[in-house]
Amino acid sequence: MKNILILITKAEVGGAQMSVFNLARKLKEKGFPITVGFGTGTFLADKLKDLNIPTKRFSYLKRTISPYTNIRFIFETKKYIDTHNIDVIHLNSTNTLFAAIAAKLSNNKPNVIFTHRGLSLLDKDYKQSALIRLYAKISFTLLLPLVHHQVFVSKENQTQAQRFSFVKNDTVIYNGLDQQLLKFYPKEQAHEFFEKKIGQSLQNKTIIGSIGRLAYQKNYEFLIKEFLTIKEKYPQTVCLIIGTGPEETRYKELIQKYNLTKDIYLLGNIPEAYRYMKGFNIFVLPSRYEGLSITLLEALFAGIPIISSQVGGAQETIANNSCLYPLNDSIRFQEALNTLIPSKELQEKLGKENKKNSSIFNIDHTVDSYIKLY
């Protein structure tokens, strides 16, 4: 069995981290010696510890453009590769790409895989300075030729990235989830939980829900602003958003500004939040950019209708493309809601179609595809 090192910059809560966790768990089940390395954060470390999967904290693996830090990370990684006989190194975030130099310098010369979990710095809607974008392009131009296989988590991301000369030896491997491990609470139980959180009854309410970091990428200000129109047309509608993040204060101010404090609720961080998804009548993903959203896949497996911006792999995921809208397109977004909210029959129909579509995103397909690359 090949000795595999998986690297990701941060071990915090997030979709990329959950993808790494699911991959590591399945590789261990199949008998592969696996270690997961990261810089800061505890979420991923704690989850892997529960499964007795070895981890390694790299002191110089950070989200930074500092040449000093990245050079120190290269030599830190080279030492680890040489002393642990690593055969495969699987990179999952931009700063981990410097480990490709470590692999080149090492005695073992491991096979190097890099998964683009999203386009991030290269995405046209990513919020960064021109200098940071230039740094990213230079880094990719210099480092990606050292990678043996590049992986994209959606065809849409692959197509967008292929305009850059540094994208070669690329393939698409979808993120996957394990149906056997997904334990959703029944709708009634989820409603009881939500009612306690917000302090009001949800009987006869239409619940629009979302799960994600309260950050620029997730674009929740669009959903908040659009809820003014939703509330006017459908007074019995409420919006529940699960998550925390740097934009939380601003979102609370927006909710107060629009007098929506009894209509939109920011529920904060909830462990295993996906388990409450069946309590949503409609799941909304308003993101500016994504690779292939894990929460979108969880909504798919939950069998609930989804409305999403046309981002990343959304159009490859959702069964009915009429539930997709161009980013920040208010008209198309409201049209999708106007079709779904009044019709319980359509909600049920689309939920069943999404559930059927979830079979494409089975974790076993994902892992088997990576094993072939390893």
The answer to whether residues 165 and 35 belong to one domain is: yes
The reported pLDDT for the residue numbered 125 is 65
* Residue 197: per-residue pLDDT: 96
345 is in which domain, residue-wise?
A: 179-360
Residues 150 and 191 in one domain: no
CA-wise closest residue to 117 among 145, 146, 89, 96: 96
For position 149, what pLDDT does the model report?
Answer: 96
Residue 32 identity:
F
Instruction: Say how far residue 370 (Cα) sits from the centre of its chain.
Output: 18
* pLDDT (tens place) for every residue of the chain, 374 residues total: 899 999 999 998 888 999 999 999 999 999 999 999 999 999 999 999 999 999 999 999 998 889 999 999 999 999 999 999 999 999 998 899 999 999 999 998 999 999 999 876 666 666 666 777 777 788 888 999 999 999 999 999 898 888 887 888 899 999 999 999 999 999 999 999 999 999 999 999 999 999 999 999 999 999 999 999 999 999 999 999 999 999 999 999 999 999 999 999 999 999 999 999 999 999 999 999 898 999 999 999 999 999 999 998 999 999 888 899 999 999 999 999 999 999 999 999 999 999 999 999 999 999 999 999 99
Is 64 among the domain residues?
A: yes
The last residue of a domain, from among 117, 142, 173: 173
Same domain, 112 and 185: no
In a domain, 305, yes or no: yes
Answer yes or no: is 373 within a domain: no
Q: Do residue 339 and residue 272 come from a single domain?
A: yes
Same domain, 29 and 138: yes
**How many domains, the chain?**
2
Both 187 and 316 in one domain: the answer is yes
Integer Cα distance of 91 and 61 in angstroms = 12
Do 68 and 207 lie in one domain? The reply is no
Tell me the three state secondary structure of residue 328: coil
d(CA 334, CA 269): 28
298 in a structural domain: yes
State whether 74 and 211 are in the same domain: no
Q: What is the pLDDT of residue 65?
A: 87
Question: Which domain CATH number covers 44?
Answer: 3.40.50.2000
**Is there a domain that residue 326 lies in?**
yes
pLDDT for the residue numbered 119? 77
Contacts of 72 (CB under 8 A, 6+ apart): 59, 60
On whether both 86 and 211 belong to a single domain, the answer is: no
The answer as to whether 365 is a domain residue is: no
For residue 294, tell me if it sits in a domain. Answer: yes
Asked if the structure places residue 366 within a domain, the reply is: no
Q: Which of 144, 173, 202 is the last residue of a domain?
A: 173
Using the 3D structure, point to which of 109, 143, 173 is the last residue of a domain.
173
Which residues, including other chains, have CB under 8 Å from residue 355's CB and lie 6 or more apart? 300, 301, 302, 303
Same domain, 226 and 262: yes
User: 151 and 204: one domain?
Assistant: no
| Distance, first Cα to last Cα, the chain | 10
Burial of 196 (0-12, 13-18, 19+ CB in 10 A): exposed
CA distance 167 to 161: 7
12, 82: one domain? yes
Q: Which of 15, 19, 16, 25 has the alpha carbon at shortest distance from 48?
A: 25
